[in-house]
Structure 1
Amino acid sequence: MTLQKTVLITGGARRIGATIATFLHEKGFRVIIHCNQSLDEALILKDKLNFKRKNSAFIISMNLDAESSAKELITESLNLVDRIDVLVNNASVFSANDADIDAMLLLNVKVPYWLSTWAFSYLKETGGCIVNITDTHASSPLRGYSLYCQTKAALLMQTKSLAMEFGPNVRVNAVAPGITIWPEGKNKLDENQQEKIISKTILNRHGDPIFIAKAVYFMIENNFITGQEIKVDGGRNL
């Protein structure tokens, strides 16, 4: 019997996370979609994926606000399915507001660490891996977003550190998006700001979430890569 591999994706209900979930589902993975405030979108995505393949998509709605909730997410995932093969730490806070530092540190740094450490023993059993979604500005600062860049830099170092600690049993890598989907809400950019950012990108165009999903899949499939980051930013970082 062929065992069906399972991926857990935090923040998997919308934007980049939803595209990763959809793409990996197309590649044959069972998908556990974690969400917090996007339950409606998660339900729509789950139904769409299960329509294509029955009992292949699941939802866990949870506020990841402490190590205990990270542990609970792993436990609940294993209650839904028999294994975890891939953890994608995608959930993130993007903000230019210094008042959001605690939220950024929590979701961008602490939660991925907690989830990775609690998932380790199960990933070891399946020969699994972890893919962290960092940012092209983890290694090249973005004016006005100092604290955000610092948290993503911390996640990049976490990727490298855990790759050393978890090897040879579990690989840990990162994918760093550039401009892929424009920010929403209070971080929304006007057309002039968008054009200015695109002009600094060597490929002179906007990215697409599918490029991130394909990079995540590459990191999952290539089992001789660990501790590395792929920048999917159209050359913005050069």
Structure 2
Amino acid sequence: MKGDYPLVFSVTSGKGGVGKTNMSVNLALCLARAGKRVVLLDADLGLANVDVVLGMTPTRNLFHLFHEDASLQDILFDTPYGFKILPASSGMSEMLALSTGQKLELLEAMDGLEDAVDYLIVDTGAGINDNVLYFNLAAQERIVVLTPEPTSLTDAYALIKVMKLNHGVEHFKVLVNMVPDAKTAKEMFTRLYAACDHFLSGVSLDLVGYVPRDPGVRKAVVNQRPFCAEAEGGPACAAVRQVAQTIQNWDVSANLDGNIKFFWKKLLFRQ
């Protein structure tokens, strides 16, 4: 079980279009409904999507933290779904690659949230650029989202490979999205597992769940609402609720690697 410190997990992918932000938003909603204090960080810094998925227009975002001396509390934005977001900017080239100083500034700013949050969800960009890798390194756990497409599988493997070979990260969770059935989800996971087992010694993958295709998801996206609010009775929402329950039972104490973390002071002195 999780202790009295915030648990930080990223939701990430090797390619775009796999529903990563949708998973982040709906996991945040489900964890909030379970009585948890949740903050969702939009870490796709130059191409923000969290506010778009939610149909919201925050007046400040992370650009203002780095370039206009705003505080984290100035940026933190309440949603009507029980969780808060830290929105990113869109179309700002200055945000596409954070400097070392900006990365440290963000970690320092986040320390102010440590006693006010149970879960920090980090919705990364897609791919293997510097920002994506950085936010994955700063998380305690990583959920890699893929779909039943060959390119999704290949790109998920590429992300895991870079994280393992360049940064020593060995533990990953896998969430298979938009599947027709459980059999397909397990086949996709098995293929990814086999590739990692064969080529990346020491990598550990766990299937955290799968989310079936659901017409309610598309309707929710069009209406800019979480599908667990728009189509609460649908199969996709039921699946995400199950994943959220699984997350609440994670024990990450044995899985911390040597990379710098959000809330590192709290983690360092938690014993």
- Please, what TM-score do these two structures have when normalized by structure 1? 0.49
Q: Which has the higher helix share?
A: 1
Q: Structure with the greater relative contact order (CA < 8 A, sep ≥ 6): 1 or 2?
A: 2
- Please, what TM-score do these two structures have when normalized by structure 2? 0.44
